[in-house]
A and B are shown apart, each in its own frame.
Chain A
């Protein structure tokens, strides 16, 4: 793995992006997020989460600056940029007759062609061990379930050892056990390798439990950013999601978001902070 440079982390400066001339995210700025962090990107549907991830990866035309470890990503050639940034798209890998091993191999040959064969083989072994995918390695993609294909795709993003991992809903097709496994593994991967992981998720409880920071997107703008306990409040959930919710601490000490009703269905006004954070 690369060594973490002194000036490190991800910083966004007035990032604007969209599709076909239509602006989806407008002027997002983010002070430096430290490497080795697991950061959740949350927000309602169509808030611009996927667009923001694509814009950071340089896969969409965007204005503004994306700085990673002090380097302006816009100044780097595409291949070099995508060596530093790993991006997992929302769409699952296709159910083809490729073996999972070949999916990982092709990612390395296409994206890390400078690595010698031994290093590529070792990188695959490592990610397979990390994500516990040994059983899937030599199976065809069209024989795997959606969740299994999602795990193969996740390994495909991680295997190239990028400095920044952008994961667009990596748990959308996973059962409860694998959701916990993935987030826990990502957190440990981030700690062990210094990789900064930015993960778009819908499950606020997963975000609260595993992530160091939460970025909340609303209507293409950054509504809030910070530690889960500071950010996830009933007032914010009402404002961003339009729901009446409680944020409580469970018997295990984890922060829990409990949605009671949509704000329109609730007859009362915004619940008091005292009642919501018992």
Chain B
């Protein structure tokens, strides 16, 4: 047993443990850097693949020196491929970040935007727009479905926030309520599909499979702004969220208002997920697996976990986007189908290598 040192001795002692911990921190920065580079490469590859084949070099030249490529390629790169690839990146990052925060706030490794029924609620909102024919109103032609999807997700969010605000609502209660919401909204979705005509039914099914093809400049700006603001907001709470991982009672003992932190975190998650899903449709798995990948690679210090989860989510969706175009030449598969096909093997490899979640 070591004798206690005086406070003065403690202050003058060389920070041996801090020095050794700094090596961990450097390795994590390196991992984040590698993930960012992989994401960059994936995004460029995503832009190179499509019905009109472009080379990697064409895409890089077209992005950095637009005048050096033919006009047709400029149009393809800037007006078709770039919005598509950037939307994949932003939506993936939003879902990854939302999933990581939700898993921490609810202390549940299975939590994701799906757990609380947000995706199902967004799908119901979108389906209402399709079935009611509101998309035919000229001025809302592009945004009616996303706006209704957002309203759907916001309704689910409001219900969850109301429950979380109530005293005595435990984390388990919130998760169970989310699962109940999920089944309720799925039933509503089936009801809408049942009453929809064949054309509307086709649109609903297509929407629920997810698609990045609906990306436009304004949609990218909205998703990007929400993601940027939420990341800044999260950055102010990384220590509180890290402390929460040690345990609720522990976090309370430091003066962290746990209930308020949970409420604010769920609000941020809802905003991220609702915005992302409303523009691209139902995309599953990213919000669940992205955070786990980040956790396996970076641990649970939220200074690294949150950016890591955003990068992992973006990487997954970007890779899924490449596959969605590459599996069957000339055909773009719905992205929601591919995310699970990409994510599951990758996830299993990581889990089996680490043998822990």
Residues of A within 8 A of B (CB): 1, 20, 57, 59, 78-79, 81-83, 86-94, 96-99, 101-103, 105-107, 109-111, 113, 118-119, 121-126, 128-132, 134, 137-138, 140-142, 153, 156-157, 160-161, 181, 184-185, 188-189, 192-193
- The docked-state distance in angstroms from the alpha carbon of A91 to that of B240 is 19
CB-defined contacts of A83 to chain B, threshold 8 Å: 255
Within B5-44, the residues touching A (CB, 8 Å) are: 5-7, 9-13, 15-18, 20-21, 24
CB contact between B255 and one of A79, A96, A106, A123 (< 8 Å): that residue: A79
Given A59-B253, A101-B17, A184-B1, A140-B246 contact (CB < 8 Å): no
Cβ of B92 to closest chain A Cβ, rounded Å: 23
Within B299-357, the residues touching A (CB, 8 Å) are: 299-301, 356
- The docked-state distance in angstroms from the alpha carbon of A156 to that of B250 is 9
B1–A122 touching, CB < 8 Å: no
B242–A106 touching, CB < 8 Å: yes
A156–B246 touching, CB < 8 Å: yes
CB-defined contacts of A87 to chain B, threshold 8 Å: 253
Within B182-208, the residues touching A (CB, 8 Å) are: none
CB contact between B253 and one of A57, A94, A102 (< 8 Å): that residue: A57
Cβ of A19 to closest chain B Cβ, rounded Å: 11
Q: Would you mind naming 30 contact pairs between A and B with Cβ atoms under 8 Å apart?
A: A57-B253, A59-B252, A78-B257, A83-B255, A87-B253, A89-B250, A91-B249, A93-B247, A94-B245, A96-B300, A102-B242, A102-B300, A107-B246, A109-B242, A110-B239, A111-B254, A118-B15, A121-B15, A124-B15, A125-B13, A125-B15, A125-B17, A126-B5, A126-B10, A132-B1, A137-B17, A137-B20, A138-B24, A192-B4, A193-B7
CB contact between A110 and one of B21, B256, B295 (< 8 Å): that residue: B256
- The docked-state distance in angstroms from the alpha carbon of A204 to that of B162 is 47
A157–B1 touching, CB < 8 Å: no
B: number of interface residues (CB 8 Å): 42
- The docked-state distance in angstroms from the alpha carbon of A98 to that of B300 is 5
CB-defined contacts of B250 to chain A, threshold 8 Å: 89, 93, 107, 153, 156
- The docked-state distance in angstroms from the alpha carbon of A101 to that of B252 is 19
Residue of chain B at shortest CB distance from A20: B168
A94–B21 touching, CB < 8 Å: no
A86–B253 touching, CB < 8 Å: yes
A107–B17 touching, CB < 8 Å: no
Cβ of A121 to closest chain B Cβ, rounded Å: 4
B18–A97 touching, CB < 8 Å: no
Residue of chain A at shortest CB distance from B18: A121
Residue of chain A at shortest CB distance from B356: A142
Residue of chain B at shortest CB distance from A181: B1
Cβ of A179 to closest chain B Cβ, rounded Å: 12
Q: Is B2 an interface residue (CB 8 A)?
A: yes
CB contact between B4 and one of A106, A107, A121, A130 (< 8 Å): that residue: A130
- The docked-state distance in angstroms from the alpha carbon of A197 to that of B310 is 43
Q: Is B263 an interface residue (CB 8 A)?
A: no
Cβ of A146 to closest chain B Cβ, rounded Å: 13
Given A125-B18, A137-B21, A82-B2 contact (CB < 8 Å): no
A82–B246 touching, CB < 8 Å: no
- The docked-state distance in angstroms from the alpha carbon of A160 to that of B299 is 24
A106–B7 touching, CB < 8 Å: no
- The docked-state distance in angstroms from the alpha carbon of A122 to that of B12 is 8
Contact with A along B249-274 (1 / 0, CB 8 A): 11111111100000000000000000
CB-defined contacts of B252 to chain A, threshold 8 Å: 59
Q: Is B243 an interface residue (CB 8 A)?
A: yes
Pairs of residues from A and B, 8 with the lowest C-beta to C-beta distance, nearest first: A126-B10, A89-B249, A111-B254, A82-B255, A79-B255, A109-B239, A87-B253, A106-B243
- The docked-state distance in angstroms from the alpha carbon of A26 to that of B249 is 23
B254–A94 touching, CB < 8 Å: no
CB-defined contacts of B12 to chain A, threshold 8 Å: 122
- The docked-state distance in angstroms from the alpha carbon of A181 to that of B242 is 29
A134–B245 touching, CB < 8 Å: no
Cβ of B257 to closest chain A Cβ, rounded Å: 7
- The docked-state distance in angstroms from the alpha carbon of A130 to that of B2 is 6
- The residue in B3, B4, B299, B301 that gathers the most chain A C-beta atoms within 10 A of its C-beta is B4
- The residue in B7, B21, B240, B255 that gathers the most chain A C-beta atoms within 10 A of its C-beta is B255
- The docked-state distance in angstroms from the alpha carbon of A103 to that of B254 is 12
Cβ of B177 to closest chain A Cβ, rounded Å: 20
CB-defined contacts of A82 to chain B, threshold 8 Å: 253-255
Residue of chain B at shortest CB distance from A112: B254
CB-defined contacts of B11 to chain A, threshold 8 Å: 118-119, 122
CB-defined contacts of B13 to chain A, threshold 8 Å: 122, 125-126, 129
- The docked-state distance in angstroms from the alpha carbon of A89 to that of B255 is 13
A185–B1 touching, CB < 8 Å: yes
Residue of chain A at shortest CB distance from B246: A93
For the complex with contacts A57-B253, A94-B245, A123-B10, 18 further pairs of A-B residues with Cβ separation under 8 Å are A92-B247, A93-B247, A97-B299, A99-B299, A103-B246, A106-B239, A106-B301, A109-B242, A110-B243, A118-B15, A121-B18, A125-B18, A126-B13, A132-B1, A134-B16, A153-B246, A157-B253, A189-B4
